[in-house]
Every structure is written in structure tokens, then in C-alpha cells.
Amino acid sequence: VGASLLPDLEAAVVGLVHDVLEDSANTITDLMHELPLSEAQVNALALLTRPAGDHSYDAYIRTIATAGTPGAAIARRVKIADLRDNLNPRRQQLAQQRVGLAVMVEKRLAYWQALCTLGGAPAFLDARP
């Protein structure tokens, strides 16, 4: 994800480390001690880190889509890149082997809906009658 955001180095760094916060015990504070993150990057990481609990995926995506804080634009760019990566046919095939077709069909739909909400879907998918 990070490399796909180059040459925007600020977004690329967020793209590289955003999953660390969801997939490990590390916190944003931990990352701030290790990396020289800007305020916008810290805010973007906070937006991208899905809160534990009963937040629905749609609510999480809407929060990213509507946030007006410094770093919100970075968070949207990173999430769009992340969703496009998740929709990569090779990744989809590997995930389908792990979790099954029914689960991946549901996930693909959620990813496409999220892309539309964030404004990252191809224009022909977001056509309005």
C-alpha cells in the first residue's frame, strides 16, 4: 500500500505503517517514538485505526470519508489504496482459498461500497440514474 502512494512520502509512510496498529499491540505513541511522524500523519493513523468494539465497518468508512481534521485527506488516500490492494485479484484468490467464496463475496461488496463512499471507485461504478 505504501509504495502505491509514492511520490507522496507523507502518505506513503502512513500506508506502510497503518496495519501495524491494527495487527499488533503497538500504539500510535509507540510509532511516534520510532518514526518522525507529522501531526497530519498521526491524525491519519488515528482515523485509519478501526476502533475496537461495536463500530460497524460502514461507520468506520463514513468517519474517514467525512473527517475534516488535519490528516483526513491522507487517511482517505491510504484507505483507498488499501481497498484497491484488498481487491487485487491475486490477493482475492488467496483469501478465498483461506476463508471461502461466500466470505470473500461479502468482503468484496463491502470493499467496493467503501471505495464508492470514499470517492475512489471508477466513475462508471458510481453513476447515478
pTM: 0.86
pLDDT tens digits along 58-79: 999 999 999 999 999 999 999 9
Which residue shows C-alpha cell 471508477?
Answer: 122
The most confident of the ranges 16-20, 37-41, 53-57, 94-98 is 37-41
Q: How many CA atoms lie within 13 A of 4 on its CB side?
A: 13
CB 69 within 8 A of CB 42: no
